[in-house]
Amino acid sequence: MRQAAAVLLALVIAATLPSAALQVSDNIPVARAQRAMKMKDYRAAIEVCLFHLAVTPDDYDLKFLLAQAYAFSDQWNKALEVLSGMKAAEPRNTDVLLMESRVLSWKKRYGQALAGFEEVLRLDPGNEEALIGIADIAAWKEQVSVPRLQTKREVRYGHTVDAFSDERAAFQSDRLAFHLGLPGGAGPLIVKAGQTLRAGERDYQLGLEAYPRLWPRAYGRVELDASPRAVHYPSSSALAEVYQGFLTAGEASLGLWHMRFPSRPITVYLGSLGWYLGDYYPCARFNYSSEQGNGQFSWSLQLRRYFSDENFVYAGYGRGSRPFEDPTIQDLLDVRAGIFTAGAAWHVFEKVRVEVHYSRTSEPELVRNTFQVSAGWRWR
């Protein structure tokens, strides 16, 4: 009888004071941490994970949630420490490898991040998250004249005004772009349409851009554009450029841009050199415009400051021709000016992307101020 009473008392105590083992078996701590993550209360998620990991240090779900909470609250080193321990225990776990590679890419340690994503593809060929991660890195490392790209589905509209110091009317341009993806997750694809109004004449342009993954630490940039009227735009334009990473944080590119204007063709030779320094990215870009043996050399320097993987500000200076999109023959061959640029790209409410850009082109007898604003909406 005494033994039965003792057992009954133990059961009552166990019911009123739930043990850690009972909580883990019912996934109560995991559910609490997941709820906090969903509400973006990363501090609460970290506290829940740490508290219960003190009792059950080998709980995989809690450790993975802890790494996520650290990463999403920008405590990247702590996230990598947790993930490193998990990878040592399960070196072929693709979820851990993906999360570690993503955090490394946020820290701009692109070489290590790419190696991680490629290891995932070796273990799981065609893994969509790994392909997206590689494409993201290619997009984040774009240079001065390359628009900031996202592999997520997005529609974007932009408006540009060019104001001049003389009496001519300002130029007005509009662009609509749909950010999609290449087959097999091979990289970003953009379908775009633009129009411009200059000196009372309107012109239209249609085009495609693609940024395919090529080989380790390399990706391409391909642009094809056409203008049926070719009043201001070239009737056809084709650009191909290859970006290659080198050493621990370097990147260089070489490319060719051929434009066929109604009066004559123009060929531009492109090149760039950059280096990732933590949250900063200084880069230099060069181009040589050639027309029937005559050419003009131009250069620009730019410094970017990243606040996250997608939010950044930049400023730069260069001399020569205007290195921006939609150039005219005069922009490429006749403009010999000092060019100052500045701008920012920022995400608001996760799905809205806003970009602003300003440039000032100073020639001896003319100043050209360019203002550009664009906004994009993601639906995935």
> At residue 324, does pLDDT exceed 70?
no
> At residue 373, does pLDDT exceed 90?
yes
pLDDT digits (tens, 9 = 90+) for 73-122: 888 889 999 999 999 988 899 999 999 999 988 887 777 888 889 899 98
> At residue 143, does pLDDT exceed 80?
no
Angle at 7 between CA 6 and CA 8, to 5 degrees: 90
The pLDDT of residue 133 is 85
Residue appearing with tokens 């590679």: 101
The pLDDT of residue 270 is 92
48-57, 178-187, 272-281, 328-337: which range is least confident on average? 328-337
| Model confidence pTM above 0.75 | no
> At residue 172, does pLDDT exceed 50?
yes
Q: Which two tokens stand for residue 27?
A: 């996934």
> At residue 248, does pLDDT exceed 50?
yes
Q: What is the mean pLDDT of residues 183-202?
A: 86
> At residue 8, does pLDDT exceed 90?
no
According to the 3-state scheme, what is the secondary structure of the chain? CHHHHHHHHHHHHHHHCCCHHHHHHCCHHHHHHHHHHHCCCHHHHHHHHHHHHCCCCCCHHHHHHHHHHHHHCCCHHHHHHHHHHHHHHCCCCHHHHHHHHHHHHHCCCHHHHHHHHHHHHHHCCCCHHHHHHHHHHHHHCCCCCCCCCCCCCEEEEEEEEEEECCCCCCEEEEEEEEEEECHHHCCEEEEEEEEEEECCEEEEEEEEEECCECCCCEEEEEEEEECCCCCCCCCEEEEEEEEEEECCCEEEEEEEEEEECCCCEEEEEEEEEEECECCEEEEEEEEEEEECCEEEEEEEEEEEEECCCCCEEEEEEEEECCCCCCCCHHHHHCCCEEEEEEEEEEEECCCEEEEEEEEEEECCCCEEEEEEEEEEEECC
Give the N- to C-terminal CA distance of the chain in Å, as an integer: 65
CB 134 within 8 A of CB 114: yes
